[in-house]
């Protein structure tokens, strides 16, 4: 089944930032509970938006979320010191968001990851910027997998993010990433493919139908995880329906549950 990384606990979201600033425990706990009930498999926690407060905000968020979390957390920070603290505070092996091929991030994240029990999101980004072709995405994914394996990480702990780019700038940006994902999954069937989706619709109107149609296409190519808002019931409905159609939902159990709960509607 597709794995949903719930993206809501991020201080770049206004209401979350206000709740963090005011140390509003109920607001944060309710949001996490709602995401879990909607089917989140991981809860992303990002405290980066209040400059100078990331460490204390992350600590408070983890203290707040810990007691009610029924799923693992996805610790989202570029700072290994903050990740080190956060890693020590969680009771289930977390997902880490993220490493990339950018030299500075790579060089600081590799020692952090070595020997840790965690999953890792690995971005196909390097110091030249975003990938420019399918082959470029694939080459970057291969480098990331090889490097992460060299420090003992298993392939099924690696979540490659191919970095979705806006279709409005170039009509081949969809097939570029779809082709790459298909080839990465062929080469490494155990490696996961994840990422945000909303970049695909940047600059266009009615973005949500683009995002949910794109996740459907990406699932056919082999994407098996995404960083999304689990409270967006239309994208969740598309994911559950596509999972059923792709043979990942025996007896249509998850689909029928989604219909009964009112998430899946024609």
Site residues for a copy of itself per CB under 8 A: 167-168, 171-172, 174-175, 178, 200, 204-210, 213-214, 216-217, 219-221, 234, 237-238, 241-242, 244-252, 255-256, 259, 264-266
Q: How far apart are CA 134 and CA 238, in angstroms?
A: 25
- At residue 140's C-alpha, the angle toward residues 227 and 159, to 5°, is 30
Cβ 243 to a copy of itself shortest distance, Å: 10
Residue with tokens 């159609």: 245
Q: Which is nearer to a copy of itself, 11 or 241 (CB)?
A: 241
Given a contact cutoff of 8 angstroms between Cβ atoms, the answer to whether 166 and 200 are in contact is yes
Q: How far apart are CA 161 and CA 197, in angstroms?
A: 10
Q: Which is nearer to a copy of itself, 72 or 222 (CB)?
A: 222
- Tokens for 141, please give them: 């994914």
Cβ 193 to a copy of itself shortest distance, Å: 14
Cβ 237 to a copy of itself shortest distance, Å: 6
Q: Which is nearer to a copy of itself, 89 or 259 (CB)?
A: 259
Cβ 75 to a copy of itself shortest distance, Å: 31
Phi/psi for 15 (5° steps) reads: -70, -35
Q: Which is nearer to a copy of itself, 116 or 234 (CB)?
A: 234
Q: Which is nearer to a copy of itself, 107 or 206 (CB)?
A: 206
Q: How far apart are CA 113 and CA 80, in angstroms?
A: 9
Cβ 176 to a copy of itself shortest distance, Å: 9
Residue 22 half-sphere exposure, CB side, CA atoms within 13 Å? 11
Cβ neighbors of 133 (< 8 A, separation 6 or more) are: 176
């Amino acid at each position: 089944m597709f794995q949903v990384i719930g993206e809501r606990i991020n201080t770049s979201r206004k209401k979350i930032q206000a709740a963090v600033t005011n140390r509003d425990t109920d607001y944060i706990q309710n949001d996490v509970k709602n995401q879990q009930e909607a089917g989140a498999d991981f809860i992303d926690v990002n405290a980066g938006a209040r400059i100078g407060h990331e460490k204390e905000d992350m600590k408070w968020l983890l203290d707040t979320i810990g007691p009610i979390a029924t799923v693992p957390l996805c610790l989202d920070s570029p700072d290994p010191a903050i990740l080190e603290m956060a890693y020590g505070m969680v009771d289930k092996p977390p997902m880490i968001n993220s490493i990339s091929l950018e030299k500075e991030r790579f060089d600081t994240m590799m020692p952090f990851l070595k020997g840790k029990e965690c999953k890792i999101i690995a971005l196909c980004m390097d110091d030249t910027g975003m990938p420019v072709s399918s082959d470029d995405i694939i080459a970057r994914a291969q480098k990331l997998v090889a490097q992460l394996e060299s420090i003992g990480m298993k392939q099924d702990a690696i979540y490659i993010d191919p970095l979705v780019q806006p279709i409005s700038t170039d009509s081949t940006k969809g097939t570029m990433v779809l082709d790459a994902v298909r080839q990465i999954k062929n080469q490494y069937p155990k490696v996961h493919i994840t990422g945000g989706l909303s970049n695909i619709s940047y600059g266009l109107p009615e973005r949500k139908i683009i995002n949910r149609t794109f996740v459907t296409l990406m699932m056919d190519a082999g994407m098996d995880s995404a960083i999304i808002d689990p409270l967006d019931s239309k994208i969740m409905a598309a994911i559950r329906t596509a999972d059923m159609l792709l043979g990942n939902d025996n007896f249509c159990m998850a689909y029928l549950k989604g219909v009964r709960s009112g998430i899946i509607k024609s």
